[in-house]
């Protein structure tokens, strides 16, 4: 089943096309990879799919609900604005909000999935870069989203991501390395100067 389609979407920024006639279809129950060099449009494409920015010309659709963007979405594209003096668990608990309800059990499970101890009292401002990346991933998955989109930091979660795909979730991950992506993904797309093309063999 096709969950997300991107048809002839274009994004112009400073008179330059960041996305140029992109056409992609992402199926449910699969892990989709997006590779390409820096500043070639990976992040912008993901932001368009999430509804964080809007294409200049667009047709991005959640095929299951016929809405513009997926409803149940977990995103780890950029680091959220964590409160520096609070622990990771307390940050996630405060960030659930009315529209992102997650139980304490879900928060703890998400943190454990990414290798963080829920009971750790260490303030986020003392986290290493890797720990902050893991906390961002925990934030994205703690509500058990139907669609999960991440820019980096997936290598340590390969087994968990595979289980998500097998359960029917739709996963899109991006990386600079085709090697990392090839070990995990069912389909792989390359983006070069805003043009997206599927890599043969997947």
What digits encode the pLDDT tens for the residues 116-147? 999 999 999 999 988 988 898 888 888 888 88
**Percentage of residues in the chain having pLDDT higher than 70:** 71
Q: Which structure tokens are listed for 8?
A: 């002839």
What separation in angstroms does the CA of 197 have from each of 19, 63, 114, 188? 12, 21, 31, 9
Average pLDDT rounded to a whole number, residues 52-81: 63
202 vs 15, more confident: 202
Six-digit token pair at 159? 């087994």
pLDDT value at 44 more than 70:
yes
CA angle in degrees (0–180, nearest 5) for 98-71-186: 130
Angstrom distances, CA of residue 154 to CA of 67, 68, 82, 92, 132: 28, 27, 20, 19, 13
Lowest mean pLDDT among 38-47, 71-80, 153-162, 166-175: 153-162
Question: HSE of 112 in the Cβ direction (CA atoms, 13 Å)?
Answer: 7
For residue 19, pLDDT beyond 70: no
Q: Are 31 and 202 in contact (CB under 8 A)?
A: no
CB 184 within 8 A of CB 33: yes
Which has the higher per-residue pLDDT, 157 or 89? 89
Q: What is the pLDDT of residue 87?
A: 97
Look at 40-44, 82-86, 168-172, 176-180 and tell me which has the smallest mean pLDDT. Answer: 176-180
Q: Which two three-digit tokens encode residue 168?
A: 């029917």
pLDDT-based confidence at residue 3 (cuts at 50, 70, 90): low
Please answer whether residues 75 and 137 qualify as being in contact, where contact means their C-beta atoms are separated by less than 8 angstroms: no
What's the length of the chain? 202
Rounded to whole angstroms, the Cα distance separating 190 from 37 reads: 9
pLDDT tier at 15, thresholds 50, 70, 90? very low
Helices (H), the chain: 42-50, 88-95, 104-113, 129-141, 158-166, 178-182
CA–CA separation, 126 and 18 (whole Å):
36
> For residue 201, what pLDDT is reported?
67
DSSP alpha helices (H): ranges in 5-65?
42-50
Backbone conformation region of residue 27, classed left if phi is above 0, alpha if psi is from -120 to 50, else beta: beta
Q: Which residue has the higher pLDDT, 175 or 154?
A: 175
Q: What is the mean pLDDT of the chain?
A: 77
Which domains does the chain show, CATH number per domain?
1-72+165-196 (3.40.50.300), 73-144 (3.40.50.300)
Residues 31, 175 contacting (CB under 8 angstroms) = no
């Amino acid at each position: 089943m096709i969950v997300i389609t991107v048809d002839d979407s274009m994004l112009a920024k400073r008179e330059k096309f960041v996305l140029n006639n992109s056409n992609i279809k992402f199926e449910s129950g699969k892990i989709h990879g997006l590779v390409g060099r820096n500043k070639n449009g990976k992040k912008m494409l993901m932001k368009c799919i999430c509804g964080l920015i809007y294409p200049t010309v667009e047709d991005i659709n959640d095929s299951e609900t016929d809405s513009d963007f997926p409803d149940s979405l977990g995103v780890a594209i950029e680091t959220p604005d964590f409160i520096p003096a609070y622990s990771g668990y307390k940050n996630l608990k405060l960030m659930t909000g009315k529209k992102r309800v997650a139980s304490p059990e879900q928060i703890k499970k998400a943190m454990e999935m990414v290798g963080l101890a829920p009971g750790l009292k260490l303030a986020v401002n003392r986290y290493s870069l890797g720990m902050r990346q893991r906390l961002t991933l925990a934030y994205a998955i703690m509500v058990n989203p139907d669609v999960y989109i991440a820019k980096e930091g997936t290598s340590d979660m390969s087994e968990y991501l595979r289980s998500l795909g097998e359960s029917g979730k739709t996963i899109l991950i991006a990386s600079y390395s085709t090697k990392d992506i090839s070990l995990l993904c069912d389909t792989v797309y390359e983006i070069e100067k805003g043009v997206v093309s599927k890599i043969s063999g997947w």
